[in-house]
Structures are given as C-alpha cells and as structure tokens.
C-alpha cells in the first residue's frame, strides 16, 4: 500500500512540491496573522512567523524523504557526485586511471589464482587423491618399481584404490600421416582412482596387466573425433599403434585431464590421447629399476600421515624381503593438489603480494587526491552543514563520491583485466599448470566488486570524516582559501606518501632481486652451444625394432646420413637432450682397482650417443676423444664420461684408458669397458645446483631404449633443416613420425620462461608502483607549495633567494622520500625471504639491488618534488602576499 | 520558556486524535494541539508536515484542497476509517504504556 502510494507520488513529484510550498506559505501567513492580532508590527510579525516556521528547505527535504524511496536520495547523491567529477576532469582522469590499473592488475592476478589454485581439480573428491613416490638420499623424489607397486597395492590399508602409470608415447599409423601421440601405460583401475568413467566401453581390468594381454587401448575424446569421426562402433575396432594392432576398449570423455607426472614428465592437462595397459613382465624379484608412478585415493578418515606410516611399514618389509633393491627407500605420499600446483603457488603468492601493494599505493594516492580536494571544497561543505545538513548526510555524500570513483575505476579495471588475462595466459611458461582454467569468471567478478567497494571505502573514509568533522563556522570564515586543520591534515597526507614510497620500494627491491637472478641464469654457461641447433625426437616401434642391434644401426645410419646434408655442420643422435627434464635412472658400476666408500656405490646417469652428438650440441671435449665409426658392435667396448665424474672417481689421474664394468663380477676383458673421452659438464636444469655424474655408450654397442633425440648443428638458421630431417627419416623408414622439432634456442628460452615471466610481471607492477608513488609525492608537494604561497612570498620579500625556497621545498620531498625508503628497505629485508625459492644465486639481502633501488626511489621522489619547487621559486612576492 | 518535547511516536496519534473533530488544515492542527494542551505541547512545523506525509502514505488521512472561511485555498486533512482504527490501536497502546510507567513510578515511590 505504502509502496504503491510512493510509486504514484514518484510521477507527481512536481505537483507534490508545489502543493507543499503552497501549504507552507499558507501556514506562514496564518501565523503572521496571529502575531499581527497579538499587536506586533507587520514587519516583526512576518519575521517572527518565518523564524518560528524554521528552515523551509529542510522541512521540504524531510517531507520529500518521507514520500521518497531511499534509492532516490542515492540517485541524487550519485548525480551530484558525477557533476563534481565532471567539474575537475584532470583530477578525475588521474584517479580513475590509477584505480583502473590497480584494480585491473588485481583482477587479472586473481583470475590466475582462481583458475590455478582455487578451482577444484576435475576429479571426484580431488582432496582424497594422493601421489606416491619413493625417496632416498640421492633421489629425493623417485618413481616406483612395478613389483613394489604390486606389493603396495596388495598390502596397504590406507587406500580405497591405487593405480600406477608410466609415460609411453605411441605412434598412430594406418590412416594418413603417421603421428606421435602422448600416451601412458596404466594399470587397471587408473580411471577409477581418479573418479573418471569412459563415455564408451570400459577401462582396463586386472587381466590386461598380464604380459601378452597388452594390445588394448583407451583413447581420448579428441582422438575419437578427429581421427575416427566419432564412430559410435569404435569399441572392438583395431587401430595401429607402434606398428601393432591394438583393440579399442574404451573412449574417455572430453575433459579427461592428465594429473601430471615426473618421469618423462608431461604437465597436467588434456594432452594425453592414448592409454595402453601396463603389463608386469620380467622377474618379480628384481626391484632395481623405477619407472612407474603411483596414484591413489585415500579411504575416508585416513590422513596423509597415516597413509605415509602404512606405506613406509610396507616399504621396510619389502626392504627385508628384497635387500638388493628395496633397502634404504622411504615412501612419499603427496596430495595431488600440491603436486599439480606446488611449483606455481609460491610465484602466484608473490605476484598477488605485488598487486596488493599496487592497490594499496593506488588507494593512498586516491585518498591524497580526495583530501586535497576536500580542503578546497571546505567552503561548500561548511555551507551545507550551516544549512542544517546532518553530518551523516555529508559523510554519505562524500562516500558516495568515492564509491562512485572506485566503481568507475573498477569498471575500467575489469576491462583492463579482460585484456590482461588474455595477455597473461599467452605469456605463461609452457609448463604452467592449469593455464586453460584461467578466465575472468563469476568468482573473479565477485572478487572485483568486493575489492572495488573495499578500495572506495579505504580511500574515501578518512577524507569524508575529516571533511564532515570540520567546524562550519571556521570553514565559512576562512572561505576555503587556506587549509583548515592543516597541521593534522598535512601530517596525514605526508604519512600516506611515506607509505606509498615505502611500498613501492619493497616492490622494486623484489623486482630487482628477480632481475639479478634472471640475468644470472641467462649469463650462465650452459655447457653447450645453443645457437644454430635443431633437435627432434624419434621413437622406433618395438614391433619392427625388437632388438638392440637394429635400433643402434638405424640411429647410426640416420646420423651418418644427416652429416652428409648440405648446410649441416655436424649431426648426431643421443638418448636425451640437455635441459629437457630428462631424469634417467642412474646405474651403479665397478671401477677397476677401486673400492667405493663404505655404504655407497659408484654411480652416474647413463646415456647413449652417436659420434657426432657432442660436437652437434657443442659440448667440449676435455680429454681423449669423441666416439668414432670405429666404436662398432664387435670392437672393444668404449665409454665417454663427464668431467665431474672423472674428478670424483679418478682425482688427479689421467682417466683415459681406465676401465669400468657393469658386470657384478667382471672376469674377462670383454666384461670391461674403457674410458676413451671426458666431456664438459651439463646440468640437468639451468638452476640445478651442479652437474651429476654421467656417462655415454656408443649406440652401436649399447642400446636399451627405442626413443632417441636427434641433434643437428646447422651453418645458418636450423629450422630450415626440419624438412630435410623428415626426408632423411622417411628415406630410412617411411612409417616413422618425427616429433618435437624444436631449436635448442627455444628449449633454452623455455627453461628460463618461469623466472622471466615472474620478473616481467613483478617488474611491471614495480614500475607502476614507482610511477604512482611519484605522482603521489608530486601531488603532496605541489599542494603544500600552493598552500604555502603566502609564506614563501613573505620569505622572499624578507630577502630569501630562489635557492633557499628551492631547498625548503625539496627538503620536504627528501624527508618524505628518505623516510619512505628507509621503511621500504626494512620491509624488503623482512619480506625478501619469501622470494628465496624464486631467485637463483642472488642473496635476498643483495646490497647492489638494495642500494640501486634506494637511490632510484629517492631520485624519483626528488624529481617529483622538483617541479613544484621550480614553481615555488617563480612566486612573485607581491602577488603572493596580495592573494591572502 | 523551555517546552517539553513531544514523547517520541506520539505526534501521529495527536494528529489523528485532533482530526476526529473534523477536517482541518496543517496550521489548524498545530493550533488545535497547542490550545487543547494549554500551550504545553507545541508541534514544530518541521515535524508536522513530514508527519502528515507519512499519514497520507499509510492512507490514515486524506487531503483535499478547500477554501477557508477567509476565502483562501488550503489543504484540509480528513481522518479515514483506517486512520480511525489506527488511532484506536495507538491509544490503547499508549494507555497501556502510561499505566505501566505509572506502576513503575508508584513502586519507586513506595520503595
């Protein structure tokens, strides 16, 4: 009822006002008559009536409030605020741009955090999923042995279900060009553990784990649609994988996400196209080789530490049962979530810290601008208070203004974030988890609205209360020419600038440390020559290359043919490439005439190479020779080792000609292998602490894998050789697919992509922060100069020269900058430890960075103070005094 | 002379009660309250007109422009049946409250 009445009055507002006016005029005239008849003079009677009636405008406003909707007064405030903003476009532009950048940056980073850290993993009850690894002193995180896995699966009390998987890419042929597809060998129940179900068919059962039953496949939705036309009768069909017929038993739905793995790692994502049954072949008592990875679902109510205890109990039983392979290992049980996002969490936390700092600086700037404006609006506010506006109404009006500003800024920020998120995702390092989950989504919008309101409140409250608490009489008397409450207010403004400068300082120091770390990584001698090198991988199907000998012959022949190509300086084939995350099992061996220290063995990473491999990669020869065509199958066995292994096991000796053996009991000469060369060290990853012992066999003498990498050193742009490489492979075997064709340059670049990305963003935010802090300093100094014009005029009239005035103003800026920088340096000292895992070979208290940043911040602040100082020295004393 | 403020919430009731005597304009209502309270209660115009708008919105009074005895146009307020009912409710609530206050005060005197 009330609502309807209000609604009808809404459309008759003008009439309502007119009637109210007439009614009140009538009331006044009646009162006037009363006073007249009481004997007052007409004039006195009129004034008495008016006095008694009181403030007409206020009565009208009250009456209007009764009949009006609350929203109407808010709309009124908003219209008023818009007029105010339009009246000072420069102020509005600076404040809106500042807020748009700050809120946009926060929204963009939150989109990443929401997609990567907050969104649930796309599995059933993902918080119950764990990864299982082994660990010992040499290998902190290692895959499982297949037979260990079978024992774990059979004996554990903690898991509802457990499965294992191992990377094994496959080549699909038959229709069209052969292609290499990402594949995994999986045990039965792998998808059951994840809580995923095939959209067609079924997943593998226990029978498929028996050797000989392995010719089955589950394929991805993508492969089903792109290669098989979404054929609904695909189940039971045979497809050719690795030159063998596999029967399709299942098709997974779209959105089947690979949980990521560490051994021949493939990052979390939807990249896997084929799953084949992992079969447990070989002697179950040999527990030495580790190449499958465990995943399990915790039973309800079982904690991670309980599961860990359970598994380690089993591991120590296994250590007793199989002392040769299972002794000395501990079991790691790691939540899947930590495994997926663990690496990126630290970086995201640092980035969100950086954008929050930017937002705080933007708030301080906005508050300062509003404070400056509030003092020039003192007269307006004093008039409103004198007219009877309640203080709460003035506070509401001013808060409406700051909220309006923050919402306009937030809207622009959201638009910035839309573009920013796209750019961010494009810039993300290629191994960054869950990049496909990063969007400006509903939770992100909520976040933006919340920070927008919080921002408006944060920068609006202090100025609003300060303005409304002013004494109207004072405000009217001073007439807005001079500041009111200037002592307290200028202290607040100075404090805000000090805070801004110190926050910007913290951010710049962080960015500086990251830049030093990045430069260290880029300057690092990688141990190989990165330019003009083309790389690719090949995999020989087991069906056509079942034994070592044809594999070795194929790769040796390919390398020889590639070396003959025009434009090729040297070419070779090896079991792996530097910096590609290869983490091969390390083998133990015997060294002729030496005994390992008690409780240890001689060990090193094993690799294979053709003669041209080292020169193609540009890995230097330290002693002896590279492999040659003479290192044939029937020739005496040879080996090349790296420098660190030579120094560790043959310190001070000439290692060339020394012999080692992989036989437990070497007897005859043919059991011994002779070291013929020592090559330079290459670390696993650019930021690895040091190189590991490593050795290489010639491919013609030792081969145990079908997968190898090709390396070609070109005379010019190596990418021009990609087609020639494909031709040469096809000439030898037309059924083979060449994959991962990439220049060594891009491999090196992507190995530093994470630190580069982190630095680029933190550096961007730090740059933004220092610009904002500079604007803030400029604003405060130039405001104080304008307020002090009369004072400066008097000083100059009394004989102060320009340099005195300059000094006076600059010393104010220097004081603020000095204090801010000091606080910033202390803050950075405390916070730089958070960066520890993100920076490489730089101390978190790096004096160069700290000193450079401190100098830079003070420089920027002085520059920001210099412009108003220049203006101050140009003050004409006469004008300055007159203006008072 | 300092005049006691109206008890909060009683203005609406006083206006409704005054209007039981017949249609009246704003000035008349103020005057009538003042006279019947022997000049103790003064209705401030600042509260009177917003209160009248409130009563109009609730449909407890209705307003009509009419001519006064002196031939001037004025807005006259009339009590509606709903207003009469509301007055009854407010009166009984008010009397209950007065009685309660009285009891508390007399207890306090005895103690």
pLDDT at A480 over 80: no
Flag the least confident range among A178-182, A661-665, A771-775, A822-826.
Answer: A661-665
How does residue B1 score in pLDDT terms, banded at 50, 70 and 90? very low
- Which residues, other chains included, contact A348 with Cβ-Cβ below 8 Å and sequence gap of 6+? A109, A112, A113, A116, A117
Closest by Cα among A477, A508, A614, A134 to A329: A134
Residue of B nearest to A7 (CA): B57
Pick B49's closest partner by Cβ from A2, A29, A59: A59
How does residue A335 score in pLDDT terms, banded at 50, 70 and 90? very high
Question: Does B64 lie at the interface with A, CB-CB under 8 angstroms?
Answer: no
A557 and A668 together in one domain: yes
Closest approach of B106 to chain A, Cα-based (Å)? 38
How does residue A732 score in pLDDT terms, banded at 50, 70 and 90? very high
Residue B1 belongs to some domain of the structure:
no
Pick B54's closest partner by Cβ from A9, A20, A66: A66
CB contact under 8 A, B53 and A24: no
Q: How far apart are CA A737 and CA A744, in angstroms?
A: 20
Pick A66's closest partner by Cβ from B57, B73, B75: B57
Question: Does B6 lie at the interface with A, CB-CB under 8 angstroms?
Answer: no
A425 and A483 together in one domain: yes
Question: Does B93 lie at the interface with A, CB-CB under 8 angstroms?
Answer: no
Mean of the pLDDT values across residues A358-381? 82
What pLDDT, on the 0 to 100 scale, is given for residue A1?
57
Among A15, A37, A68, give the residue marking a domain's end.
A68
Question: Does B44 lie at the interface with A, CB-CB under 8 angstroms?
Answer: yes
Q: How far apart are CA A118 and CA A114, in angstroms?
A: 5
β-pairing verdict for A739-743 and A694-698? unpaired
The CA-based dihedral angle spanning residues A554, A560, A562, A568, taken in that order and rounded to the nearest 10 degrees: 160
pLDDT, one tens digit per residue, over A776-795 is 888 888 888 877 777 888 88
What pLDDT, on the 0 to 100 scale, is given for residue A292?
92
Q: What angle do CA B70, B75, B77 make, to 5 degrees?
A: 115
CB contact under 8 A, B59 and A5: yes
What pLDDT, on the 0 to 100 scale, is given for residue A166?
94
- Choose between A454 and A486: higher pLDDT: A454
- Which residues, other chains included, contact A364 with Cβ-Cβ below 8 Å and sequence gap of 6+? A459, A496, A497, A499, A500, A503, A776
What pLDDT, on the 0 to 100 scale, is given for residue A734?
87
Q: How far apart are CA A165 and CA A432, in angstroms?
A: 21
How does residue A360 score in pLDDT terms, banded at 50, 70 and 90? very high
Residue of B nearest to A49 (CA): B45
Q: What are the phi and psi torsion angles at A859 (to 5°)?
A: -60, -45
What pLDDT, on the 0 to 100 scale, is given for residue B10?
83
pLDDT at A581 over 60: no
Q: How far apart are CA A432 and CA A260, in angstroms?
A: 11
Residue of A nearest to B74 (CA): A23
Question: Does A22 lie at the interface with B, CB-CB under 8 angstroms?
Answer: yes
Q: Give me B104's structure tokens.
A: 């508390």
CATH code for position B74 = 1.10.10.10
Question: Does B71 lie at the interface with A, CB-CB under 8 angstroms?
Answer: no
Residue of A nearest to B54 (CA): A66
Residue A536 belongs to some domain of the structure:
no
CB contact under 8 A, B27 and A66: no
What pLDDT, on the 0 to 100 scale, is given for residue A185?
95
Tallying the residues shown for chain B, one arrives at: 111
CB contact under 8 A, B50 and A63: yes
Residue A530 belongs to some domain of the structure:
no
pLDDT, one tens digit per residue, over A383-420 is 777 777 777 778 888 888 888 888 999 999 999 999 88
How does residue A257 score in pLDDT terms, banded at 50, 70 and 90? very high
pLDDT, one tens digit per residue, over B62-90 is 988 888 877 888 889 999 999 999 999 98
pLDDT at A479 over 70: no
Mean of the pLDDT values across residues A490-514? 89
Domain span including residue A471: 343-523+753-882
Residue B44 belongs to some domain of the structure:
yes
Q: How far apart are CA A630 and CA B96, in angstroms?
A: 118
pLDDT at A380 over 90: no
Which residues of B are less than 8 Å from A65 in CB distance?
Answer: 50
What pLDDT, on the 0 to 100 scale, is given for residue A881?
65
Complex ipTM: 0.79
Mean of the pLDDT values across residues A167-173? 89
Which residues of A are less than 8 Å from B44 in CB distance?
Answer: 54
Closest by Cα among A333, A340, A442 to A121: A340
CB contact under 8 A, B50 and A23: no
Percent of chain A with pLDDT over 90: 38
Among A298, A328, A358, give the residue marking a domain's end.
A328
pLDDT at B2 over 50: no
CB contact under 8 A, A67 and B57: yes
Mean of the pLDDT values across residues B21-49? 85
A261 and A358 together in one domain: no
Question: Does A56 lie at the interface with B, CB-CB under 8 angstroms?
Answer: no
Chain A (354-373) residues lying within 8 Å, Cβ to Cβ, of chain B: none
CB contact under 8 A, B73 and A54: no
Whole-number Cα distances in Å, A840 to A335, A427, A513, A745: 27, 21, 9, 21
Residue of A nearest to B57 (CA): A2
Closest approach of B49 to chain A, Cα-based (Å)? 6
A190 and A299 together in one domain: yes
- Choose between A389 and A269: higher pLDDT: A269
The average confidence (pLDDT) of chain A is: 86
Mean of the pLDDT values across residues A667-674? 87
A559 and A430 together in one domain: no
Question: Does A53 lie at the interface with B, CB-CB under 8 angstroms?
Answer: yes
Residue B2 belongs to some domain of the structure:
no
What pLDDT, on the 0 to 100 scale, is given for residue A295?
97
Q: How far apart are CA A633 and CA A618, in angstroms?
A: 26
pLDDT at A4 over 80: no
A235: which strand partners? Answer: none
Residue B4 belongs to some domain of the structure:
no
pLDDT at A130 over 90: yes
What pLDDT, on the 0 to 100 scale, is given for residue A210?
93
CB contact under 8 A, B46 and A54: yes
Residue B97 belongs to some domain of the structure:
yes
Mean of the pLDDT values across residues A610-637? 92
Residue B38 belongs to some domain of the structure:
yes
Closest approach of B105 to chain A, Cα-based (Å)? 36
What pLDDT, on the 0 to 100 scale, is given for residue A163?
97
Pick B26's closest partner by Cβ from A23, A58, A67: A23
Residue of A nearest to B26 (CA): A27
Residue of B nearest to A8 (CA): B57
How does residue A477 score in pLDDT terms, banded at 50, 70 and 90? low
A578 and A630 together in one domain: yes
Name the DSSP class of A670: G
How does residue A254 score in pLDDT terms, banded at 50, 70 and 90? very high
CB contact under 8 A, A6 and B25: no
Closest by Cα among B33, B40, B38, B27 to B11: B33
Residue B6 belongs to some domain of the structure:
no
pLDDT, one tens digit per residue, over A633-650 is 889 999 999 999 999 999
What pLDDT, on the 0 to 100 scale, is given for residue A485?
46
Q: What is the domain count for chain B?
A: 1
How does residue A481 score in pLDDT terms, banded at 50, 70 and 90? very low
Mean of the pLDDT values across residues A602-623? 91
pLDDT at A183 over 90: yes
Residue A136 belongs to some domain of the structure:
no
Mean of the pLDDT values across residues A620-634? 91
A627 and A480 together in one domain: no
pLDDT at A691 over 90: no
Contact predicate A686/A521, CB 8 Å: yes
Closest approach of B69 to chain A, Cα-based (Å)? 12
Domain span including residue B70: 11-110
Residue B28 belongs to some domain of the structure:
yes
Among A68, A83, A116, give the residue marking a domain's end.
A68
pLDDT, one tens digit per residue, over A15-40 is 888 888 888 888 888 888 888 888 88
What pLDDT, on the 0 to 100 scale, is given for residue A486?
57
Which residues of B are less than 8 Å from A5 in CB distance?
Answer: 56-57, 59
Residue A94 belongs to some domain of the structure:
no
Which residues of B are less than 8 Å from A22 in CB distance?
Answer: 73, 75
Q: If residue A353 lies in a helix (H) or strand (E), which one and from where to where?
A: helix A336-376
- Choose between A534 and A391: higher pLDDT: A534
Q: How far apart are CA B70 and CA A817, in angstroms?
A: 77
pLDDT at A68 over 80: no
Question: Does A52 lie at the interface with B, CB-CB under 8 angstroms?
Answer: yes
> What predicted TM-score, i.e. pTM, was given to this entire model?
0.73
A359 and A279 together in one domain: no
A347 and A319 together in one domain: no
Whole-number Cα distances in Å, A837 to A345, A507, A512, A755, A762: 11, 17, 15, 11, 15
Which residues of A are less than 8 Å from B26 in CB distance?
Answer: 23, 26-27
What pLDDT, on the 0 to 100 scale, is given for residue A303?
95
Q: Concatenate the DSSP letters of all residues of A388-406 into one string.
A: T--HHHHHHHHHHHHHHHH
Tally A–B CB contacts below 8 A.
60
Q: What is the domain count for chain A?
A: 4
- Choose between A88 and A862: higher pLDDT: A862
Which residues of B are less than 8 Å from A29 in CB distance?
Answer: 72
A416 and A555 together in one domain: no
Which residues of A are less than 8 Å from B74 in CB distance?
Answer: 23, 26
Residue A74 belongs to some domain of the structure:
no
Closest approach of A857 to chain B, Cα-based (Å)? 58
Contacts by A471-475, CB closer than 8 A, 24 or more apart: A472/A381, A472/A382, A472/A383, A472/A385, A472/A386, A473/A382, A473/A386, A474/A382, A475/A378, A475/A379, A475/A381, A475/A382, A475/A385
What pLDDT, on the 0 to 100 scale, is given for residue A883?
59
What pLDDT, on the 0 to 100 scale, is given for residue A684?
76
How does residue A259 score in pLDDT terms, banded at 50, 70 and 90? very high
Question: Does A57 lie at the interface with B, CB-CB under 8 angstroms?
Answer: no
Closest approach of A32 to chain B, Cα-based (Å)? 11
A262 and A377 together in one domain: no
A293 and A149 together in one domain: yes
């Amino acid at each position: 009822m009330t609502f309807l009445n209000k609604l009808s009055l809404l459309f008759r507002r003008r009439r309502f006002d007119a009637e109210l006016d007439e009614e009140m005029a009538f009331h006044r005239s009646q009162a006037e008559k009363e006073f007249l008849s009481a004997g007052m003079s007409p004039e006195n009677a009129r004034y008495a009536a008016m006095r008694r009636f009181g403030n007409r405008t206020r009565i009208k406003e009250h009456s209007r409030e009764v009949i009006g909707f609350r929203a109407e007064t808010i709309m009124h405030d908003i219209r008023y605020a818009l007029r105010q903003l339009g009246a000072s476009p420069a102020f509005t532009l600076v404040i809106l741009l500042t807020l748009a950048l700050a809120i946009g940056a926060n929204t963009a980073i939150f989109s990443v955090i929401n997609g990567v850290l907050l969104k649930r993993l796309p599995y059933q009850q993902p918080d119950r999923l764990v990864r299982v690894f082994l660990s010992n002193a040499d290998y902190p995180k290692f895959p499982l042995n297949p037979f260990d896995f079978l024992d774990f699966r059979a004996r554990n009390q903690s898991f509802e279900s457990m499965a294992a998987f191992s990377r094994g890419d496959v080549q699909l042929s038959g229709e069209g060009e052969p292609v290499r597809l990402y594949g995994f060998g999986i045990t039965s129940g792998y998808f059951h553990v994840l809580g995923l179900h095939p959209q067609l068919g079924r997943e593998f059962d226990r029978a498929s784990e028996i050797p000989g039953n392995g010719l089955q496949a589950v394929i991805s939705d993508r492969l089903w649609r792109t290669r098989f036309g979404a054929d609904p009768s695909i189940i039971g069909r045979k497809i050719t994988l690795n030159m063998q017929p596999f029967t399709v038993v299942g098709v997974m739905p779209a959105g089947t996400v690979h949980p990521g793995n560490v051994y021949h790692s493939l990052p979390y994502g939807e990249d896997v196209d084929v799953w084949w049954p992992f079969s447990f072949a070989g002697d179950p008592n040999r527990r030495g080789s580790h190449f499958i990875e465990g995943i399990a679902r915790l039973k309800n109510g079982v904690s991670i530490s309980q599961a860990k205890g359970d598994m380690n109990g089993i591991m120590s039983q296994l250590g007793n049962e199989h002392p040769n392979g299972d002794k000395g290992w501990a079991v790691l049980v790691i939540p899947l979530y930590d495994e997926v996002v663990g690496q990126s969490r630290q970086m995201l936390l640092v980035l969100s810290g950086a954008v929050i700092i930017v937002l705080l600086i933007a708030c301080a700037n906005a508050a300062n601008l509003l404070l400056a404006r509030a003092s020039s609006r003192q007269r307006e506010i004093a008039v409103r208070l004198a007219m009877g506006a309640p203080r709460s109404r003035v506070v509401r009006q001013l808060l409406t203004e700051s909220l309006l500003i923050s919402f306009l800024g937030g809207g622009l920020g959201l638009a910035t974030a839309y573009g920013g998120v796209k750019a961010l995702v494009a810039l993300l390092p290629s191994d960054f988890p869950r990049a496909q989950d990063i969007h400006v989504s509903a939770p992100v919008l909520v976040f933006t609205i919340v920070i927008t309101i919080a921002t408006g409140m944060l920068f609006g409250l202090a100025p609003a209360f300060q303005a409304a608490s002013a004494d109207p009489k004072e405000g009217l008397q001073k007439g807005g020419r001079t500041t009111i409450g200037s002592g307290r207010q200028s202290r607040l403004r100075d404090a805000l600038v000090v805070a801004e400068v110190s926050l910007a300082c913290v951010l710049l120091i962080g960015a500086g440390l990251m830049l030093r770390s990045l430069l260290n990584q880029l300057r690092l001698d990688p141990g190989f020559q990165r330019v003009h090198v083309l790389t690719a991988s090949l995999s020989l199907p087991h069906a056509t290359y079942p034994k070592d000998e044809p594999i070795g012959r194929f790769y040796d022949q390919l390398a020889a043919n590639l070396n003959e190509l025009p434009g090729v300086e040297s070419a070779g084939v090896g079991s792996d490439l530097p910096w590609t995350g290869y983490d091969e099992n390390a083998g133990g061996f015997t060294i002729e005439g030496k005994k390992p220290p008690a409780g240890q063995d001689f060990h090193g990473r094993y690799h294979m190479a053709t003669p041209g491999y080292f020169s193609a990669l540009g890995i230097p020869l330290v002693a002896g020779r590279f492999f040659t065509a003479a290192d044939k199958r029937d020739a005496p066995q040879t080996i090349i080792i790296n420098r660190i292994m030579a120094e560790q096991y043959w310190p001070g000796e000439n290692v060339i000609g020394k012999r080692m053996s992989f036989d437990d009991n070497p007897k005859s000469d043919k059991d011994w292998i002779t070291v013929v060369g020592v090559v330079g060290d290459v670390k696993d990853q650019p930021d690895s602490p040091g190189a590991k012992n490593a050795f290489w066999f010639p491919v013609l003498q030792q081969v145990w894998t079908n997968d190898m990498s090709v390396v070609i050193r070109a005379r010019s742009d190596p990418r021009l050789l990609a087609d020639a490489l494909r031709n040469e492979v096809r000439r030898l075997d037309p059924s083979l697919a060449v994959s991962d064709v990439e220049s060594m340059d891009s491999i090196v670049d992507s190995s530093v992509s994470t630190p580069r990305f982190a630095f680029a963003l933190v550096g961007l935010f730090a740059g933004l922060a220092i610009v904002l802090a500079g604007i803030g300093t400029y604003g405060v100094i130039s405001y104080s100069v304008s307020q002090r014009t009369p004072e400066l005029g008097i000083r100059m009239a009394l004989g102060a020269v320009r340099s005195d005035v300059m000094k006076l103003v600059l010393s104010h800026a220097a004081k603020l900058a000095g204090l801010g920088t000091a606080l910033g340096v202390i803050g950075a000292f405390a916070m730089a430890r958070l960066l520890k895992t993100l920076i490489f070979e730089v101390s978190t208290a790096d004096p160069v960075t700290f000193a450079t940043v401190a100098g830079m911040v003070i420089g920027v602040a002085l520059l920001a103070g210099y412009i108003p100082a220049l203006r101050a020295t140009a003050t004409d004393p006469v004008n300055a005094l007159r203006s008072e | 002379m300092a005049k006691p403020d109206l008890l909060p919430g009683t203005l609406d009731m006083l206006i409704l009660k005054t209007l039981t005597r017949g249609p009246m304009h704003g000035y008349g209502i103020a005057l009538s309250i003042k006279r019947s309270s022997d000049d103790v209660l003064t209705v401030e115009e600042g509260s009177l007109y917003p209160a009248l708008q409130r009563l109009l919105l609730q449909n407890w009074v209705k307003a009509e422009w009419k001519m006064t005895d002196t031939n001037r146009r004025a807005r006259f307020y009339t009590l509606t049946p709903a207003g009469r009912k509301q007055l009854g409710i407010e009166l009984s609530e008010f009397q209950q409250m007065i009685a309660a206050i009285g009891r508390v005060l007399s207890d306090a005197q005895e103690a």
